[in-house]
Structure 1
Amino acid sequence: MQSSAPPRLRGGRSRTLAAFTALAALVSSAGCTVANSDAAGSTGTAGSTLRVVLAQEPPTLEPCEASLTSTGVVVRSNITEPLIERDPETGELQPLLATGWQRTDPTTWSLDLRSGVTFHDGQEFTAEDAAFSIDRAVNSDLACNVDGYVFDGKDLEVAVTGDMSLTVTTPDPDPILPLRLSFIEVVPRTTSTEDKVREPVGTGPYVLDDWETGVSISLRRNDSYWGEAPAYPEARYVWRSEPSVRAAMITKGEADLATALNPEDATDENSVAYPNNETVALRLDGREPPLDDIRVRRAMDMAVEREAIVDTLLAGLAEPAAQLVPDGVVGYNDELRGTPTDLDAARELVAEAAADGAPIDREISLIARNGQFPRVAETAEALQYQLARLGLNVRIEMLDTAAHLQYQLRPLPEDVGPVALLIMHGNQTGDAAFTASQYLLSEGAQSTFGTPELDAEIAAASALSGQERQEALARVLADQNADVAQYVHLAHMRGLMGISPGVHYEPNSASGDELRLADVRPAGREGS
């Protein structure tokens, strides 16, 4: 993870493997014409309104769903705030609405809270609100995303011990509870516990002013904010599904920030490349033949040309991956390297499996999601071509988000045959235990299978802290590759954020999930 500002985007690498000539010809540049576009700053003037264009409209602004990228990019640390904040550059936990925390016994943590903070509706923030927010997000029947993703569905015992103090007790020892708590956005204790809210109230530097469904979301500066006032009095979000349109809005001065640009639309003048914490991989369903044979899974891993995909299709805005988490995440194993391409050895493994009865001619569905990342369709075609060289019968299915989620999350669809699912995993937490519990456990929410041995390793590693935790999680990732091989790791991605010359903002690994408006300054006021 870089600690300095990421470099401006430069031209893509020119090296193109001969086998990819045909595929490269399929990639055409998208146009940059804005048709009937609503200028992002139509409710304010440039300089007073920060204008942001997103790839899609948030499905909800409910704070307990802020771990969803499309919600968190608006809500987190803008409208609402957590008790504890993780620095995306260093990974260190920092005080926010909590000023301090300590572990008082193996299962209990005590927290001291910040005084003098008020919610947008004028209510004073107290320990009652903090306890309520934890209960609402984790212990209620609201089915909040943060409950399953961060807390694995385990209830917490929360007790108020003073006006500005509380304790949180976990069912089992949890050395990273403060990190988990950094995903809970604090709301007033008057917030509904029966329904998720459309218009959140928080303590953040901005107040929700208006959400015109299908059109825009407007925020205004919280003049009673306890911290440093943000530079812009107003912020307005609009959304455009086409990356070329988002890029054109930056170029034409219609937006100040734009998320998720495509390489062909990016220039030195309109965008910045940054590490976005996302890793692309093929998840192999090891329950179905021929993917239930580890020799076939290993052969598929050996057949993929990662460098060619990164250089040719991803325009160099990625690096070959050997694990599901990038550098900077606790547990990242810096000794792992992407599997070298070796077609001869891969074909031998497939032949051995076939000789033992593996049905290698059975159709394998390679499933990807439309718009998953730039040039995803071409990447799927490249993988199909590479795997076909092993004699495997691979068919591509491009799905929308809802249909893709049916294959990504348990309960997984039945009677669909062997599936190689193209996934893009972003570890927002900075700790590989979250990845392991979701993607590597035998019954993980986004895992198709596993082994008892790896399950035991994950459980043991999750109970550790410090350097022991780092080393144990690194072994988990290595043992996944060696003994399970559920994943063909492809690339650690870099994002492209559109940034107009009129603003100064340095994207970081959290920017795709948590775009902190208070970090944006007018150009020339970087230090103010």
Structure 2
Amino acid sequence: MLSSVRSRVLAVAAVVLCGSSCTVANSPAGDAGAAGSTLRVVLAQEPPTLEPCEASLTSTGVVVRSNISEPLLERDAASGELRPLLATAWRQTAPTTWAFDLRGGVTFHNGQPFTAQDAAFSIDRAVNSDLQCNVDGYVFDDDERLRMEVTGDTGLTVHTTKPDPILPLRLSFVEMVPRTTSTTAKVREPVGTGPYAIESWETGVSITLRRNERYWGERPAFPQARYVWRAEPSVRAAMITRGEADLATTLNPEDATEENSVAYPNNETTALRLDGREAPLDDIRVRRAIGMAVDREGIVGTLLAGLAEPAAQLVPDGVVGFNPALKAAPYDPEAARALIREAAADGVPVDRRITLVARNTQFPRVAETAEALQYQLAQAGLNVQIQMADTAAHLEYQLRPFPTDVGPVALLIMHGNQAGDAAFTTSQYLRSDGPQSTFGTPELDARIDQADELAGPARQDAFAAIFADQNQSVAQYVHLAHMRGLLGISRSVRYQPDSATGDELHLAAVRPSAGEAR
């Protein structure tokens, strides 16, 4: 199967994307490039919203986070350390209390001063309200309630209901907005404190930002930034090659060259989530057999063009809780077949059809990856049918409440732990009642709760042990690969992507290169 897929991939790679007569539909002709006044960015899709409390969504955060709005502090993607932003200092004064000193002299785009009252309002709006913000479910427990105390213009104290050693990290996902922002509806064009403000959003066409000339921090190089979106990776790559864009997100390997792109670790991990509520996936022997039947090295080397490495857990190195002792299961189709035969002998309906659900454009060559998985699981003795889905349909399988009467499902997921702590993975994907978990055990739930109250080395060790236990006693996930991304970048700009780039593309970090090599 992989050899046939390899032939198809090579054939695609051999296609010439654009010659001298190539044109890109709806390209932003007439825009000034990086040598001029406008930084031009082409995205894979139009953001569904620019609401700051939804900025933990990649498609929103890549435009909003630290461009339009800013949090109190942010995580350094390289070191994992928190650094000051709108807060200059923070400290834990009691097990359930954190104090923050806020930066003075900061104004919102509308001229309103930023104060501790705005910070308290922003946290309350994102976490305690009924807006159903993504940041509430992803970063905080849905039932978490925070209490804020304001001391003057620059003093803020946050009280938690239980000890939370990583509250500052959680708050790095809460973007600050003026206290005049609606609390009953999400906003379309937010007001923030960031280096850029929204100038216009022409639905279906483009988003234009203008530089915030009153910005408290370093002045960005470009007076304007303009986002457009093109679904086809080859089109995004061609726009870089032809000088029609300066940055382009998520290129495909066959479209990337040393001249138009740079690879970077994007903190994403691909895996199959197995629904253990349904036969035959309710038998751990079948779930373990699937792990043995997958040729990770072949998929990474052939389909992912080496832009990944085989995975044994849902988080990559650099995330608190990553377990370096875990190794990807070796490819052993004969052992997989033996486990399937053993389960069948005990009456497990191993011939029941399993639906492998994958999302279109989830990652480069996702359809070919699904086909490879289908073939490999069939070789192990399982009956697998592929269902490619759009984003909305995939989300129905990904998030609770899950579809019923659909039979056993192996869902191809891609999880990015952009926060850098295993708590954000385990609460979502490993707890038996997690929003993106189909099952688990009370014992694992209890261990997750205990680990979440620890700090330092004890926290690292506890979460590392949880990932090992998941593999051994639950096996809900068949981990595939830790991914790398490809960012399209023209020779006219300088920018160094990091593991956060796929979720938050900081425009202020981009500089004109004046023809210099990257």
What is the match of residue 9 of structure 1? none
> Is 1:87 matched with 2:76?
yes
How many Å apart are 1:342 and its aligned residue? 1.4
- Aligned partners of 2:82 and 2:326: how far apart in 1? 27
* Alignment counterpart, residue 233 of structure 2, candidates 224, 243, 251: 243
1:330 to 2:320 alignment: yes
Do residues 66 (structure 1) and 48 (structure 2) align?
no
Matches within 5 A, 1:332-481: 332-481=322-471
* TM-score, normalised with respect to structure 2: 0.96
Aligned residue in 1 for 2:307: 317
Residue in 2 aligned with 1:44? Answer: 32
Name 1:507's counterpart in structure 2. 497
2:214 to 224, 236, 241: 224
Partners in 2 of 1:369 and 1:314 — Cα distance?
16
Task: Report the alpha carbon displacement of residue 427 of structure 1 after superposing the two structures with TM.
Answer: 0.5
1:513-528, aligned counterparts within 5 Å? Answer: 513-523=503-513
- Alignment TM-score, normalising by the size of structure 1: 0.95
- 1:7 maps to what in 2? none
Q: Distance in 2 between matches of 1:118 and 1:356?
A: 68
Q: Is the 8 A contact 1:330 1:470 kept in 2?
A: yes
Task: Establish whether residue 163 from structure 1 lines up as the match of residue 120 from structure 2.
Answer: no
- Cα deviation for residue 333 of structure 1 reads 0.5
Q: Quote the Cα distance in structure 2 between the aligned partners of 1:296 and 1:82.
A: 45
1:305–1:386 CA contact under 8 A, matched in 2: yes
- 2:105 aligned with 1:120, yes or no? no
1:219 alignment partner, SS class: strand
Query: Residue deviations 1:375-408, cap 9 Å, x none?
Result: 1010001001100111111111111110010000
Rounded Cα–Cα distance in structure 1 between residues aligned with 2:189 and 2:280: 49
Which whole-Å CA distance do the structure 1 matches of 2:34 and 2:383 have between them? 55
8 Å CA contact retained: 1:40, 1:237: no
| CA RMSD, 1 decimal | 1.3
Partner of 2:100: 111
Separation in structure 2 between the aligned mates of residue 204 and residue 422 of structure 1, nearest angstrom: 36
Deviation at 1:350, TM superposition (A): 1.1
Task: Answer yes or no: is the 8 Å Cα contact 2:33–2:246 preserved in 1.
Answer: no
Alignment of 1:185-204 (within 5 A): 185-204=175-194
Q: 2:8 aligned to 22, 26, 30, which one?
A: 26
Counting only pairs closer than 5 Å after superposition, residues 474-489 of structure 1 correspond to structure 2 as 474-489=464-479
For residue 473 of structure 2, give the secondary structure of its aligned residue in structure 1: helix
Q: Distance in 2 between matches of 1:129 and 1:417?
A: 48
Q: In structure 2, what is the Cα distance between the partners aligned to 1:194 and 1:409?
A: 24
String of CA shifts for 1:21-43, please: whole Å, max 9, x gaps.
Answer: 11212332366346553344634
Tell me how far apart the structure 1 counterparts of residues 166 and 515 of structure 2 sit (CA, whole Å).
37
Aligned match for 1:266, one of 256, 261, 272: 256
SS in 1 for 2:282: coil
Is residue 274 of structure 2 the alignment partner of residue 291 of structure 1?
no
Cα deviation, residue 160, structure 1: 0.9
Partners of 1:208 and 1:120 in 2: CA distance: 9
More divergent stretch after superposition (113-122 vs 39-48): 39-48
Residues 306-351 of structure 1: CA deviation (Å, up to 9, x unaligned): 0000001000000000000001000000111000011222122111
**For 1:104, what is the secondary structure of its paired residue?**
strand
Structure 2 unaligned spans of 5+: none
Residue matched to 1:136: 125
Measured in 2, the distance between the counterparts of 1:20 and 1:418 equals 25
SS at match of 1:476: helix
For 1:97, which of 86, 96, 105 is the aligned residue? 86
Seen in structure 2, the aligned counterparts of structure 1 residues 247 and 45 have a Cα distance that, compared at 3 Å, is closer
Residues 112-152 of structure 1: per-residue CA shift (max 9 Å, x gap): 10001011110111100000000110111111100111011
Gaps of 5+ in 1: 1-18
Classify the secondary structure of the residue corresponding to 2:331.
coil
Q: Deviation of residue 45 (structure 1)?
A: 4.5
Name the CA distance, whole Å, in 1 between partners of 2:182 and 2:459: 38
CA distance in 1, matches of 2:255, 2:341: 44
Q: Which AA in structure 2 matches 1:403?
A: A
Find the partner of 1:308 among 289, 298, 314: 298
Residue of structure 2 aligned with 1:76, choices 60, 65, 68: 65
Q: Is the 8 A contact 1:321 1:489 kept in 2?
A: yes
- The 8 Å contact of residues 492 and 515 in structure 2, kept in 1 or not, is answered as no
SS of the residue corresponding to residue 448 of structure 2 reads helix
Cα-to-partner distance string for 1:469-523 (whole Å, 9 max, x where unaligned): 0010000001000110000000000000000001000010010110000110111
The one-letter code sitting in structure 1 at the alignment partner of 2:106 is V
Distance 1:41 1:144, change over 3 A: farther
What does residue 135 of structure 2 align with? 146
Matches of 1:42 and 1:221 in 2, distance apart?
Answer: 20
Percentage of identical aligned residues: 73
Decide whether the 8 Å contact of 1:289 with 1:359 is kept in 2: yes
Aligned length: 508
CA contact (8 A) 2:126 2:135 kept: yes
1:497 aligns with 2:482: no
Secondary structure of the residue that 2:4 maps to in structure 1? helix
Q: Structure 2: how far apart are the matches of 1:178 and 1:70?
A: 24
